[in-house]
Structure 1
């Protein structure tokens, strides 16, 4: 249930929250500071999640435990490799767990994106307020309770203890000798400026997760203003005429794509399918996005009557044509890749086109099922997270390397020449694809220069794997599989 925490004019550090904060920052130092990304990122997210459970406002409830198990699944792709997609999914999981442990998670899933946005909107104000509390003098009443009072109570005892130690050292040679033998270098090494800055940077986001706050919203006035603007700009007669024109215009583009892309009809002289594909893929996606935005702005949920039913049918037809355009854009991209090789950005472009098509399909469902814009936002966010999750557990660089080595001009006589520099930039996971090419019968005699360069780049990528730290914190499942593959290959050779 979504509830609001009581307002407080001072930082209230209750003991479980303080323990969780200190433990999480300490774990951040051990796992992340000056370390190469690997299993440590997964362990950090796991540690912060456990700290959130420890600092739950009202103890652990059944719903929170179930969500924690789902969050564990959300951070699991970090074991494969800590890509930014995996980190994004894990961060969303932690945010949901933070809302649940703070009694801010709404019952309706469609309301979750709005609540998450309010938490993020509150972050800058909390950050500035926190800096002010640390740097500006505050009245004593502010620190009557909580961490500030506890800290002040320790200052005097520590100062006098230090004075007594120094006096005892001057009076007792044994104490003086014992103090002289204590090396503070290791302790002082922990307090360099870079490390303290790292602690501060980690403590802020962790504290926000431990105790999230919601920004105020004025949704009622905003909805009224949007409704007035909508009725003035998108009245039924103008909307009906616009949809008729849009459907006719899109029908022309659809017929052309069906004829030349799906039907395989020869293009006019001087134009290749690759050029036709390259010219159209990205503009068509922009067109589909604008179409979706137009529908959301123009279509009123409460409209009824014969004219409204006709408008809905025209909207269905128009969105269906946009989905077909997205599929045409994917086919255009496939033709372009066939002619000019594959890159990670082109894979991302194809996935983006697929995501846009899914979003348009969700708009049709929204209209047909009479769902709210909050539902549409939540389902699109869920689609994005599912896509990120799939990318996080897929070795896309290895796939790109395998595709390019299989379809290069030097191999099958078509397409672009193999870009060895780009192949190397894909990283060590390209090694199995390179080995597959080098093991191909006749590869050396077919192109001696290419064979020699690939052997050279293989040695370079192998050395990168060999120089990797063997610390458990830097371990990833993807690199573990690669190391096992290379060890098996080396033993065979």
Structure 2
């Protein structure tokens, strides 16, 4: 890209970013900015050779940009910005197939994109560029003399009151000018400049790009020299026997554990006691054990043991181990279900479901890797793609309203934690605001239904909740009435209209 074009497009992005976001909260302005910057990224990287990953990233970025206006949650905004960053990398380096590689390269570009010396378009060392000479002159002729001037001025002002009186009007005027000068807009201009660099400047990739292009899904056998053949066969046999013993013992152990889970988890009845330990500690320990199990399988099947002619029984034991771990993941889902049944929905409880879904996908991909002799690159590619789809899906749902509606609809069986519900996003206000009569009824039902004291100091009462929610409603209405066009979003608009009814 020519330097003049880069400068022009950078100025365009800086002006657009500053105009849209200066003194404005995020609203429709984010969507408008992305509808400007994405076509610019496609233009400067033409001809772009789209593959399935770059097409999905493009669609996902536009979709989540649209959803930032519709549901306007911090999670949606965060995922959209992440997708925009990775899309810029996918457009610059056509041919990426693994999202995890695109993500890592994007994180590196956050820092390297601001250094012209790393640009792929930069020519090999000329004597010295005009811009470099200009910065040198500014440094030696302006900044260094100015630094000495300020330093000695401060010394002289401290040493002589007469000198201070003579210079005081000038110093006062300078201080007033600095106070009136809008430093905030400078930060927006700098942010726009950094965004322009990330979006437009193509720097040399760190190596993942070539690794991604050269990697394949199929596992290749590595053959060593002939005089190592006996030693290699002996080592493989030892690894095989060790793996068979390990997976035989562990399969028996996990079978016993799964049987106990069926009895005590699948048909669980809560007596008001150990539910926190049952779910929180138990869930994450089991998730860690499943992850460790997958790593152990990959360790044994990382090399030529995949091609060992007598590995039939090891594969069978490994398949059984993977299936039992999938069953364990289903048991963890049931643990989480019971916790939600008695304590309602929350962000982390929903996240556990998606995390376990990705875990099951990971275990299935490990099964395919062993059965079809796939490479580690295949695992990274498939699981990173699954993660991408899950992130996009979760960014398209307003979980605040979903949680509020579900929890209050199930107050007769699930504990209503007022403190948590009061902290939900403003878009949930139409569903979290209740009358005094409704709250009194909920409190009485909760006291009779829950097998513990719901009036403990930690828990809010309906009166405390009502006081906080009325204050939250007032603040939201005041905030909404001060929004301008660029800060507008559908979620706040619908909430405001419902609160007016």
Superposition TM-score, scaled by structure 2 size = 0.70
In 2, Cα distance between equivalents of 1:132 and 1:61: 23
Which sits farther off after the overlay, 374-383 or 430-439? 430-439
Give the structure 1 partner of residue 489 of structure 2. 476
Residue of structure 2 aligned with 1:300, choices 294, 299, 302: 302
Q: Does residue 109 of structure 1 match 2:107?
A: no
Provide, for residues 316-353 of structure 1, a one-character-per-residue CA deviation record: whole Å limited to 9, x for no partner.
Answer: 21111111111111211222233344322222233222
After superposition, where does 1:417-428 map in structure 2 within 5 Å? Answer: 418-428=416-426
Q: Does residue 249 of structure 1 match 2:253?
A: yes
How far is the alpha carbon of 1:451 from its aligned partner? 5.4
Q: Does residue 31 of structure 1 match 2:29?
A: no
Provide, for residues 209-247 of structure 1, a one-character-per-residue CA deviation record: whole Å limited to 9, x for no partner.
Answer: 312330146979xx99x999xx98992222222211221
In 1, Cα distance between equivalents of 2:336 and 2:315: 31
Q: Does the 8 Å contact 1:397/1:429 carry over to 2?
A: yes
Residue of structure 2 aligned with 1:398, choices 397, 401, 422: 401
Provide, for residues 444-485 of structure 1, a one-character-per-residue CA deviation record: whole Å limited to 9, x for no partner.
Answer: 9958x9555454344223213212232122222222222232
Q: Does residue 334 of structure 1 match 2:337?
A: yes
Residue of structure 2 aligned with 1:206, choices 169, 177, 196: 196
| SS of equivalent residue, structure 1 residue 105 | coil
How far is the alpha carbon of 1:442 from its aligned partner? 8.3
Give the structure 2 partner of residue 364 of structure 1. 367
Q: Does the 8 Å contact 2:25/2:487 carry over to 1?
A: yes
Q: Does the 8 Å contact 2:89/2:105 carry over to 1?
A: no
Q: Does the 8 Å contact 1:109/1:378 carry over to 2?
A: yes
Give the structure 1 partner of residue 150 of structure 2. none
Going from structure 1 to structure 2, the CA distance change for 1:401 and 1:393 (only over 3 Å counts) comes to same
Q: Does residue 380 of structure 1 match 2:383?
A: yes
Which sits farther off after the overlay, 286-295 or 112-121? 112-121
Q: Does the 8 Å contact 2:30/2:65 carry over to 1?
A: no
In 2, Cα distance between equivalents of 1:377 and 1:329: 24
How far is the alpha carbon of 1:284 from its aligned partner? 0.4
Q: Does the 8 Å contact 1:250/1:321 carry over to 2?
A: yes
In 1, Cα distance between equivalents of 2:82 and 2:366: 24
Going from structure 1 to structure 2, the CA distance change for 1:192 and 1:323 (only over 3 Å counts) comes to same
Give the structure 2 partner of residue 486 of structure 1. 499
| SS of equivalent residue, structure 1 residue 485 | helix
In 2, Cα distance between equivalents of 1:352 and 1:61: 33
Going from structure 1 to structure 2, the CA distance change for 1:61 and 1:271 (only over 3 Å counts) comes to closer
How far is the alpha carbon of 1:126 from its aligned partner? 5.5
In 1, Cα distance between equivalents of 2:83 and 2:70: 17
Give the structure 2 partner of residue 3 of structure 1. none
How far is the alpha carbon of 1:124 from its aligned partner? 4.0
In 1, Cα distance between equivalents of 2:249 and 2:88: 48
| SS of equivalent residue, structure 2 residue 94 | coil
Q: CA RMSD in A?
A: 4.3
Going from structure 1 to structure 2, the CA distance change for 1:415 and 1:460 (only over 3 Å counts) comes to same
Q: Does the 8 Å contact 1:38/1:81 carry over to 2?
A: no
Going from structure 1 to structure 2, the CA distance change for 1:119 and 1:456 (only over 3 Å counts) comes to closer
| SS of equivalent residue, structure 1 residue 141 | coil
Equivalences, count: 421
In 1, Cα distance between equivalents of 2:323 and 2:22: 50
Give the structure 1 partner of residue 154 of structure 2. none
Give the structure 2 partner of residue 433 of structure 1. 431
Q: Does the 8 Å contact 2:61/2:83 carry over to 1?
A: yes
Q: Does the 8 Å contact 1:338/1:415 carry over to 2?
A: yes
How far is the alpha carbon of 1:98 from its aligned partner? 2.7
How far is the alpha carbon of 1:140 from its aligned partner? 8.7
Going from structure 1 to structure 2, the CA distance change for 1:36 and 1:398 (only over 3 Å counts) comes to same
Give the structure 2 partner of residue 313 of structure 1. 316
| SS of equivalent residue, structure 2 residue 307 | coil
In 1, Cα distance between equivalents of 2:56 and 2:302: 38
Q: Does residue 120 of structure 1 match 2:107?
A: yes
| SS of equivalent residue, structure 1 residue 235 | helix
What stretches of structure 2 of length at least 5 have no aligned partner?
120-124, 138-176, 225-231, 446-459
In 1, Cα distance between equivalents of 2:223 and 2:260: 38
Going from structure 1 to structure 2, the CA distance change for 1:341 and 1:259 (only over 3 Å counts) comes to same
In 2, Cα distance between equivalents of 1:227 and 1:200: 55
Q: Does the 8 Å contact 1:68/1:97 carry over to 2?
A: yes
In 1, Cα distance between equivalents of 2:354 and 2:258: 21
How far is the alpha carbon of 1:115 from its aligned partner? 5.0
Going from structure 1 to structure 2, the CA distance change for 1:321 and 1:191 (only over 3 Å counts) comes to farther
Give the structure 2 partner of residue 44 of structure 1. 33
Q: Does residue 197 of structure 1 match 2:187?
A: yes
Q: Does the 8 Å contact 1:53/1:60 carry over to 2?
A: yes
In 2, Cα distance between equivalents of 1:244 and 1:227: 29
Q: Does the 8 Å contact 1:86/1:392 carry over to 2?
A: yes
What stretches of structure 1 of length at least 5 have no aligned partner?
1-11, 134-138, 154-186
How far is the alpha carbon of 1:256 from its aligned partner? 0.8
Q: Does residue 286 of structure 1 match 2:292?
A: no
How far is the alpha carbon of 1:288 from its aligned partner? 0.8
